[in-house]
Amino acid sequence: MLNDKLDLYLKEGYYPFHMPGSKRSELLRSDLPYRRDLTEIYGFDNLNDPEDIFVEMEEKLARIYGVKKAIISTNGSTSGILSTIRALCRNNKNILIQRSSHKSVYNACELNSLSVSYINIVTDEQLAIKDIDYENLEEKLKEKNYQALVLTSPSYEGYLLDLKRIYKICRKNRTKLILDMAHGSHLPLTSLYDNSFDVAITSFHKNLSALTPSAAVIINDMEYFDEIKRNMAIFQTSSPSYVILQSIDEMIGRFESFENLYKDLENNIDDLYKLKLDHLELVDNPSKDRTKILISTKNTNISGSDLERLLREDKIEIEMAYPDYALLISTIFDTKEGFDRLKKSLRRIDGLLEEKNKSYSLDLQVPQKKFEIFEAINYKKKNIKLENSLGHIAGEFVYAYPPGSPIIAPGEIIDAEILSTFHYMLDNNIHLNIKDEYISVIIDK
Ligand SMILES: Cc1ncc(COP(=O)(O)O)c(C=O)c1O
């Protein structure tokens, strides 16, 4: 496809009196892909209005994900999420989202002036987001006519939702299911993949091989295909990166061979999860993707950040650390040598640790809403000390890490319960995105 065509083209010796400005120049670094950077020249299709190469690539992607259509994004899942929500929520502006949704979901709600309601999340012992509250979902969908439900599965830490159950509930209530599957592009290689959704968005760069930030919207419900496609041309650059597109082409071309690589990864992972550790715990669960290696420090005398630092002493870099766990991402491109280094390092670190019981729980209630996000964002605001904020209306998101869920969103009322949640989190080392305990509140419309 794209790569083969470009290989031939480059041999033909055309002189580039066109963009990109780097002109395949040999003056530039040879380890950056200038020689293969091109634009919509004759015969190389147009991603925003595809006719041949990209149609073929999108058809192959649709087959891989078992859906009717795929639309490639060279601007991450972010532009896929913005496009999908805009396309679906044009008329009915009621949307139901998982409280722990990614920023792009919240941004879509703001940009499209949506009326937002939330599904409560359920966390595991380490406060990683594990599930949603299914009863809460059924109740919410009965209460109001929501155009769409937006959920994230798998979570960053690899927990999967029961999509069959959710999709059934959505269909019964005539609500479209939009799945943020940014962290699950590799799932078709596993037994965990479930295509029970109307539209999903997935990032190839997170767990497969295509370059950052390649992604796709994958679609079962054709009713909105044209409108999503039109919106993709709004939210994506008009100069999509052909280097990224070539990496997607390479990924598609090799996808079958990835199945064998996945078997090797599974063996390495099985081996890792058998590691005997006295203090650290490799969190395992039937509804969890094991490639997301979640190491709990909960019953130890160190935090997830300490574990990150100790792993770095052994030259191992991780994805992210929270107070009670560290998250490591493994993919089919990891090596046995990499896993051996990790096991050796974990054994060393485990030997340094002592047992310590750190127990706290978190009940993240959704505060009362005074204004929608899109309204609150436009009101005048000022920063005040948290201790003086009782009864004020938040002018910004305050996130808790973990579980990466807003404690408060713009337009919500800071009541006594929310204030005590803030203090509980600060006391328990849960990171909040506020500086010096100041919070932005609305002062005037
Ligand atoms: C749950 C979730 N959704 C969407 C995104 C956006 O993905 P991208 O980086 O491909 O734009 C992210 C990014 O980290 C994410 O974690």
Q: Quickly list DSSP for 342-407.
A: HHHHHHHHHHH--B---------PPPPBSS-HHHHHHSEEEEEEGGG-TT-BBSS-EEEETTTEEE
The pLDDT, as a whole number, for residue 294 is 98
- Euclidean distance between the first and the last CA atom of the chain, given in angstroms as a whole number: 55
Q: Which of 5-14's residues contact partners 24+ apart within 8 Å by CB, and which partners?
A: 5/43, 5/44, 5/53, 6/36, 6/38, 6/44, 6/242, 6/246, 9/43, 9/44, 10/35, 10/36
pLDDT of residue 435: 87
Nearest partner of 64 among 209, 196, 186, judged by Cα? 186
pLDDT at 156: 95
pLDDT at 428: 76
Q: How many CB atoms lie within 10 A of CB 136?
A: 15
What six digits make up the tokens of 282?
């490799």
**What pLDDT score does 377 carry?**
94
* Ligand 1 residue neighbourhood (C-beta within 6 Å): 76-78, 102, 104, 152, 156, 180, 182-183, 203, 213, 215
pLDDT 10s digits, 10-37: 999 999 999 999 999 999 999 999 999 9
Given this model, what pLDDT does residue 1 score?
A: 87
Ligand 1 centroid distance, CA of 205 (Å)? 10
CA distance 254 to 81: 26
Q: What is the pLDDT of residue 430?
A: 78
For ligand 1, what atom is nearest to the CA of residue 180? 3
From the CA of 380, how far away is ligand 1's center (Å)? 30
CA angle 283, 400, 108 (to 5 degrees): 105
DSSP reduced 3-state for 117: strand
Q: What is the pLDDT of residue 382?
A: 97
Q: Do strands 398-401 and 380-385 pair parallel, antiparallel, or not at all (unpaired)?
A: unpaired
Per-10-residue mean pLDDT of the chain, 445 residues long, equals: 95 96 97 96 93 97 98 98 98 97 96 96 92 95 97 97 98 98 98 98 98 98 98 97 98 98 98 98 97 97 95 97 94 98 98 90 88 96 95 94 89 95 82 90 86
Atom of ligand 1 nearest to the CA of 78: 11
Q: What is the CA radius of gyration of the chain?
A: 23
